[in-house]
Structures are given as structure tokens and as C-alpha cells.
Amino acid sequence: MKQRRFESVWDAIEVSPAHAASMKARSELMMAVRKVVDGWTLTQTQAATRLGITQPRLNDLLRGRIDKFSLDALMNLAARAGLSLRVKVVRSAA
């Protein structure tokens, strides 16, 4: 049996390259926002207020519940967290 190699876990488990790309972007944004929030010396309620969301919603983000966040929502949270976003579009190798 031939083994396949994937660039990321999302490429291996998602049904299409489009879904994999979305999940990669979402996970990257979630990790970036979490890193910023972890650096704040605030309670979850205070951090949520700073981001303009509820504490339970922030808890979902901090626990990595990626299915609860759209790419658009995560981009907005990243901007509110003070992150600068840049999208790079390139043609795939395949």
C-alpha cells in the first residue's frame, strides 16, 4: 500500500482542497488570536469585552472549537485583537 504525504493535517482529513484551505486559515487565525489573548493580563470576561464578544464565545475560541467560527468572524476578532492581516494568494503546485 502506497502512503500519501500531506502538507497539513487539514489536507488529509478534509473532503476538498477548498475545505482544507479554509480550515488551515481558520486554525491559523484562532492560534494567533489566542496567543494575543493569552498575553493580556485580563480575565476571560474582560478579554471578551475587549474583543466585542461574550465570555462563552471567547471560551469556545480558547478551547479551539474551530467549527463554531467562520473565517470572516476570525478575521474580525484578529483585527480587534490588534493583529494586522494579509492574505496571500498563490497558485497551487498540483
Is residue 20 within 8 Å of 26, Cβ to Cβ? Answer: no
The H or E element that residue 48 is part of is helix 44-51
Please give the C-alpha separations between residue 77 and each of 2, 54, 92, in angstroms, as whole numbers.
Answer: 42, 12, 28
pLDDT one-digit tens code per residue, 16-64: 777 888 888 899 999 999 999 999 999 999 999 999 999 999 999 999 9
pTM: 0.81
pLDDT of residue 50: 97
Cell of 38: 493569552
pLDDT of residue 56: 97
